[in-house]
Chain A
């Protein structure tokens, strides 16, 4: 029983991330509405961000901002005292890129709506087929 709890406690962050990731993937595959697909993509991106940030975690460590005040010039910093800053950097830029991709995705959706008058995928497909049969 104790082994089971130890496994859960050491892995539950990954399971949370995978659950979120699957929710996003489900929305991207199954949902019919383009906006819902975009929201699914955003949930997927969020799960990746959570995954990276949780990987950088260290037990008994603090945030990656070095303790500093006058008189600490000769201080030696130990890596075990601060959590891993590298995933934070990578995800900082990933968040901004996700905003940018969201903007481009939404503007593409707007263009699709202008063209076909709907955002439902099956209706768009039907209209494309109709147009190709005519021509």
Chain B
């Protein structure tokens, strides 16, 4: 099996390398993919949308439909992970064990008892318990807000520099995942619950589609942001720039929450009360 695979892949390699002899040279400005529509984008992006970052302009405006369904795809990926992994039934254990960190006294709380509020003084001892680590916790606590701030910057500055909804969303999600890795999943779900992440993810997709519907209601085509100029009180070109901003925020929200949602389900195999 190994040999057959090796031979067939080597053969395919030879065929593909032979095929590159017809490809245009690397960096050739006259190659077929660098002609046609992309030249229009470069020459007209500024006068059409007043967005200097052509990638953002194409992503959210010229190819707005593509990006909208892309957002729908990642939303459905989150839903797929949820339906594959989530275990709806939660069997409450007989007793839960908590330890008071300062004194080392361990409390055994029977079923139906009142659990202590989440704080730094008590920690729950179960199969997922890991020893307290000062360096990791303090480092992540210092890093997380700055990563989140940077993510917001990347989303908001996508018009003028590399960035946008997808990238900023992933960075924001990574910040929360860092928090979940360095602390416990239970602590994270207290802050961003699974329900909230799912609802916000859907809202992100809805913001995108809703912007398109707003354009329809204002008398333009679907996702033609220049129709919003009356609503926003600016000229059509600036309205397109603002429309791109709205859409990017929707994308950012959806991507952030899908990352968190998939992480919750994957890391705990669907049992979110335990988790990492």
Contact = CB atoms under 8 A, between A and B. Distances in A.
Contacts of A18: 13, 16-17, 20
A58 interface: yes
B169 to A, nearest CB: 8
Contacts of A103: 77-78, 81, 262, 266
A77 B43 contact: yes
A116 B38 CA distance: 50
Given A22-B9, A65-B54, A96 B269 contact: no
A56 B58 CA distance: 15
Contacts, number: 169
A96 B170 contact: yes
Contacts of A101: 77
Counting contact residues on chain B (CB < 8 A from A), the size range is 35 or more
A58 to B, nearest CB: 4
Given A55-B33, A65-B54, A110-B266, A25 B9 contact: yes
Contacts of B34: 56, 58, 79, 84
A92 B59 contact: yes
Contacts of A54: 26
Interface of A: 9-15, 18-19, 21-22, 25-26, 29-30, 54-59, 61, 63-68, 75-82, 84-89, 92-93, 95-97, 99-101, 103-104, 106-108, 110-111, 114
Given A9-B26, A18-B20, A67-B52, 16 more contacts: A11-B21, A11-B25, A21-B16, A25-B9, A66-B46, A68-B160, A78-B42, A85-B38, A85-B42, A86-B37, A89-B58, A97-B77, A101-B77, A103-B262, A107-B265, A110-B84
Which 5 residue pairs across A and B have the least CB separation, nearest first?
Answer: A100-B77, A10-B25, A79-B39, A30-B5, A59-B27
